[in-house]
Amino acid sequence: MELEGGVAGLENDIITQVLLTRGVDRSDIARHLKPTLREFLPDPSEFRDMDAAAERIVQAMLSREHITIYGDYDVDGATSAALLVSLLRDLGAEADYYIPDRLLEGYGPSGEALIKLAESGSSLIVTVDCGAMAFDALKQAHDAGVDVIVVDHHKCAAELPLAAALVNPNRLDENDLAAAHGHLAAVGVAFLLAIALVRTLRDRGFFSDRPEPDLMALLDLVALGTVADVAALHGLNRAFVAQGLKVMARRERIGMAALIDASRLKRAPQCSDLGFALGPRINAGGRVGESTLGVRLLTTDDPVEAQAIAAQLSQLNEERRAIEAEVQEAAEEQLVTQHNRSVALLSGSGWHPGVIGIVAGRIKEKTGKPAIVIAVDEQEGIGKGSGRSISGVDLGAAIIAARENGLLVAGGGHAMAAGLTIEHDMIEPLAEFLDERLSQDIARARTNQSLQLDLAVAPGGLTPGLVETLDQAGPFGVGWPGPRVAVGPVRIIKADIVGKDHLRVIAAGDDGRSLKAIAFRAAETEMAQTLLHRSQGRRFHLAGRAKIDDWGNRPQAELHIEDAAFAD
C-alpha cells in the first residue's frame, strides 16, 4: 500500500513510530500491532482467590444452588453481570441477576439486599464491579450465613471485607503479575473468572458429554465494558477490545445487535462508538431509568424484546442529555468562586445523581483539574458525589483517605474516577482536605502537561489513507492515545460556531490544499476565539486527531482540533 501523497514503505514506519512512542519495545512491535488474547492473557490462577471463587461457583452449580450476580448500574457492572449470567445459564446453572436502584439504594451491595436475596433462595451471590469496600454489607451477609464472592477492580484497603472469595487485581496483597493488571475493568476480571470456572469444570470432567462454551463469544461484552469504563487501553485491555470488536461485528448477541441498530450505526462498531454511542445508552438505564435494562438487553434471546429495550434506552439517553445540561449549567456557575481550589468541588440541591459523573467529567475537561460533583438531598442532609481525575492524580486513593479520616459516610474508586456519600456539612471540610492532599500532585501533573505529537503534515498530507494507516495502531483510548497530528502552516479561510458550542474551521496551506477541521465543545476557549478572529491573517499550526468524514459521497479526512499555535 502507498499512502496518498506519500511514499511506499512509509506506512510501516509510521505505525512503528506510533507504537514506540507508546512505550512498546522495538522487539515487541509485532505483539502489540495485532494484540491477541494468546499473547497477553495471564493465568487466572495468578490472582488471589480466583481458584477459590471458581471452586465455590462449581460447587453451587453441581449441587443446583441458585446463584445471583449482583452488579453495579453502570456499563461495566451491566456487562460484567451479563457475562457471568450468560455463561452460567449456558452451563445449565440456575443464575439470575440483581442491579440496585441508583436513587433508592445507591452504589454497591447493601446488607439488606444481600440478605433478601438469600431469603429468596440464592445461596451464593457474586458481586461484580462493586463490593471491594462493602465492609458492613458483607459482614451482615456473613453473619447471616450467606456466601458472597466479590469480583471487582476498585481500590482496596489494607483490610478486606468478609467474603467467600475476593478477586481484585487491586488488592494490596496481590503478586506483581496480578497487580500489573490493575487497569482491568471489572468485566475483564469477570472474564478471567469465566476462564477459571470453565477450566475447573473441565478438570472435573464436566464436558465429557457436552461441548465447552465459546468464551471468545463473550468478548463483545468485555470490549464494551472496558471502553465505557474508561479503562486504560494497554496490554490485555487492548487485546480484549481488539478481539471484542470483531465479535461485535458478527452481531451474534441479539441485544448487542439491537443496541447497535438503536445507535444508528450503519457499519461495524469502532472503539470510539463503544464510549460515545453504545455505552451511554446502557448507562442511561442506570442513570435516569430502570437499572436492570442494560443486563436485560444483553442477556435476552428475544429479538422483539431486545428491540424494545434498545429503543427505551435511546429515549432515556435523550432524557439524560437534557437533565445533564441543566446540572452542567448550574455547576459551571459555581466555578467562578473556585479559582483558588486545586480540586473543583461543586454541589447542589436537587441535582440528579444519575448525571453527576458525566458533569464531573465535563468540568474536569473545562478546568484541567480533578472535579467532584455532589447531588445533595436536603431532606436527608446527605450528598451523593462522583469525581473524575486528571492523569497523574490518584483521586480514588484520596477519597479512601477521606473516608478513613471520617469525612465521608462512604467512598472509593480508582485513580481516574471515584464515588462518595457525604453529610452536607462535611462538603467544605472535604474540599479543604482534598486541596491539602492533592495540590502538589495536581500542580505537578498540570505543569507536566504537554501536547505530544506523533507526526506533522501539510494539509495535502491529511488523507483517508493516512487515517487508515494510523488506525492500524489501535484500538485507542485512555493509556493508549490516538495519534496526534500537526497540520500546517495554514491560513484560516472560514471559522464559525456550529451546534451548541463546536468550532468549525476551513483552512488552506502553502501547498495549495485545504482541510476541514472541528473543535468540539470549544466555542468559549481562547483557542476558538483566536481562530474565529483569524488574528489579522496570521498563519497557524493546528493539532489534533485525524478522522474520516464519511457523510458525503466520497470519504474525506478531517482534523478534530485539540490545540493551535501561531506559525509566524
CB hemisphere CA count around 485 (13 angstroms): 23
The CATH number that applies at residue 185 is 3.90.1640.30
Q: Is the pLDDT of residue 2 over 60?
A: no
Question: Locate cell 499550526: which residue?
Answer: 541
- Alpha-carbon distance of 146 to 137, in angstroms, equals 11
- Classified as helix, coil or strand, 349 is strand
- Average pLDDT over the chain, rounded to an integer: 92
In a domain, residue 267? The reply is no
Letter for the amino acid at 59?
Answer: Q
Phi, psi for residue 244 in degrees, rounded to 5: -65, -35
In a domain, residue 193? The reply is yes
Q: Are residues 441 and 505 in the same domain?
A: no
In a domain, residue 490? The reply is yes
In a domain, residue 322? The reply is no
In a domain, residue 365? The reply is yes
Q: Are residues 182 and 75 in the same domain?
A: yes
Q: Is the pLDDT of residue 358 over 70?
A: yes
Q: How confident is the model at residue 317 (pLDDT cuts 50, 70, 90)?
A: very high
The CATH number that applies at residue 523 is 2.40.50.140
Q: What is the pLDDT of residue 535?
A: 61
C-alpha cell at position 243: 478481539
Q: Is the pLDDT of residue 325 over 60?
A: yes
Query: What is the pLDDT averaged over residues 221-250?
Result: 96
Q: Is the pLDDT of residue 288 over 80?
A: yes
The CATH number that applies at residue 433 is 3.10.310.30
* Final residue in a domain of this structure, among 187, 220, 242: 242
Q: Are residues 187 and 52 in the same domain?
A: yes
At CA 206, angle to CA 204 and CA 211, rounded to 5?
140
CB hemisphere CA count around 454 (13 angstroms): 25
Of 517, 467, 511, nearest to 492 by C-alpha is 517
Residue 437: its H or E element: helix 427-447
Q: Is the pLDDT of residue 433 over 90?
A: yes
Q: Are residues 399 and 473 in the same domain?
A: no
Q: Are residues 96 and 125 in the same domain?
A: yes
C-alpha cell at position 86: 450468560
Lay out the sheet containing 382-388: strands in order across: 344-349, 371-377, 382-388, 417-423, 410-414
Q: Are residues 158 and 113 in the same domain?
A: yes
Residue pair 196/54 in contact (Cβ under 8 Å)? The answer is yes
Q: Is the pLDDT of residue 360 over 70?
A: yes
Q: What is the pLDDT of residue 521?
A: 86
Q: Are residues 442 and 476 in the same domain?
A: no
Residue 116: its H or E element: helix 111-119
Q: How far is CA 530 from CA 356, 525, 526, in A?
A: 32, 9, 6
C-alpha cell at position 537: 491573517
Residue pair 47/192 in contact (Cβ under 8 Å)? The answer is yes
Q: What is the pLDDT of residue 12?
A: 67
Lowest-confidence segment of 173-187, 414-428, 551-565 by average pLDDT: 551-565
- Alpha-carbon distance of 504 to 501, in angstroms, equals 10
Q: Are residues 485 and 351 in the same domain?
A: no
Which residues does 454 contact at the CB level (< 8 Å), separation at least 6? 17, 18, 21, 470, 483, 484, 485
* Axis crossing angle, helix 236-249 with helix 219-228, rounded to the nearest 10: 120
What single-letter DSSP state applies at residue 507? Answer: E
Q: Are residues 170 and 233 in the same domain?
A: yes
In a domain, residue 301? The reply is no
Residue pair 195/236 in contact (Cβ under 8 Å)? The answer is no
Q: What is the pLDDT of residue 11?
A: 55
Q: Are residues 89 and 237 in the same domain?
A: yes
Letter for the amino acid at 242?
Answer: A
Q: Are residues 439 and 456 in the same domain?
A: no
**Structural domain harbouring 537:** 451-566
Q: Is the pLDDT of residue 179 over 50?
A: yes
Lowest-confidence segment of 8-17, 261-270, 360-369 by average pLDDT: 8-17
- Alpha-carbon distance of 531 to 491, in angstroms, equals 10
Residue 387: its H or E element: strand 382-388
Q: How many percent of the chain have pLDDT more than 70? A: 97
β-pairing verdict for 540-549 and 556-566: antiparallel
Q: How far is CA 123 from CA 69, 112, 142, 160, 276, in A?
A: 11, 15, 12, 22, 38
Q: Is the pLDDT of residue 3 over 50?
A: no
Q: Which residues, listed in sequence order, are joined to residue 410 by a DSSP beta bridge?
A: 421
- Alpha-carbon distance of 526 to 420, in angstroms, equals 34
Q: How many helices (H) and strands (E) does the chain have?
A: 21, 16
- Alpha-carbon distance of 521 to 83, in angstroms, equals 35
Q: How far is CA 13 from CA 173, 296, 340, in A?
A: 42, 46, 46
Q: Are residues 379 and 485 in the same domain?
A: no
Question: Locate cell 488471589: which residue?
Answer: 48
pTM above 0.85, yes or no: yes
pLDDT digits (tens, 9 = 90+) for 434-475: 999 999 999 998 887 777 899 999 999 999 999 999 999 999
In a domain, residue 324? The reply is no
Q: Is the pLDDT of residue 1 over 60?
A: no
Of 284, 278, 263, nearest to 352 by C-alpha is 284
Q: How far is CA 9 from CA 13, 141, 408, in A?
A: 7, 62, 58
**Cis omega (within 30 of 0) on the bond before 211?**
no
In a domain, residue 91? The reply is yes
Q: Structural domain tally of the chain? A: 3
Q: What is the pLDDT of residue 8?
A: 39
* Final residue in a domain of this structure, among 225, 242, 259: 242
Q: What is the pLDDT of residue 552?
A: 65
Which residues does 536 contact at the CB level (< 8 Å), separation at least 6? none
Of 84, 70, 104, nearest to 290 by C-alpha is 104
Q: What is the pLDDT of residue 9?
A: 47
- Alpha-carbon distance of 408 to 431, in angstroms, equals 12
* Final residue in a domain of this structure, among 447, 472, 503: 447
pLDDT digits (tens, 9 = 90+) for 500-545: 889 999 999 999 999 999 999 888 888 999 999 876 678 999 999 9
